[in-house]
Structure 1
Amino acid sequence: MSGESAALDKVDAEVDARGMNCPLPILKAKKALSAMQSGQVLRVLATDHGSMRDFQAFARQTGNELVAQTEQAGVISHLLRRR
């Protein structure tokens, strides 16, 4: 998950899934990614701590790159690059 600072400069879309529990953050991310072009970066904001594992598995299963996962003040930011 290197290159986080470079990816943070170029986010093409953002999904706010704060306050939502699994599987809603993944479903919202999946919908947003389907509307994006290859190589674009999606940021998903979530408060469900299970989303850390969920997004790791989602990236493996879909082939989208999980660029970074960071947590600040209870909000987890997941950066995904569209395959």
Structure 2
Amino acid sequence: MIVDARGHLCPVPSLRLRKAFEGLSPGTRATLLATDPMARIDVPYLMAELGGRVVETSEVDGVLTLVVETGDAPTG
């Protein structure tokens, strides 16, 4: 699954990613495309909150590509 948030400022990339993760099974991967450099900081925090993780981060021509994986929801 690709979540395209290019051209949007935070928190939009994180919000779109959160919405895309609703109802997905643990271990599902998604790719977020973002042009806001704050996504590099915000997405790892979001993934920690959702119990997931960032698998890979890269940047080419100003576009951040973050591959993330769902996990179990944190239990508190």
TM-score grouping bracket, smaller chain normalisation: 0.7 to 0.9
Q: Which residue of 2 aligns with 1:7?
A: none
Structure 1's unaligned 5+ residue stretches are: 1-12
1:38 and 2:26 aligned: yes
Contact 2:54 2:66 in 1 (8 A): yes
Q: Secondary structure, in 3 states, of the residue corresponding to 1:19? A: coil
Q: Which residue of 1 aligns with 2:38?
A: 50
Q: CA RMSD in A?
A: 0.9
Percent identity (aligned): 31
Q: Secondary structure, in 3 states, of the residue corresponding to 1:21? A: coil
Moved over 4 A (4+): none
1:29 to 17, 21, 28: 17
Give the structure-2-normalised TM-score: 0.87
Q: Which residue of 2 aligns with 1:68?
A: 56
Structure 2's unaligned 5+ residue stretches are: 72-76
Give the structure-1-normalised TM-score: 0.80
More helix by share: 1
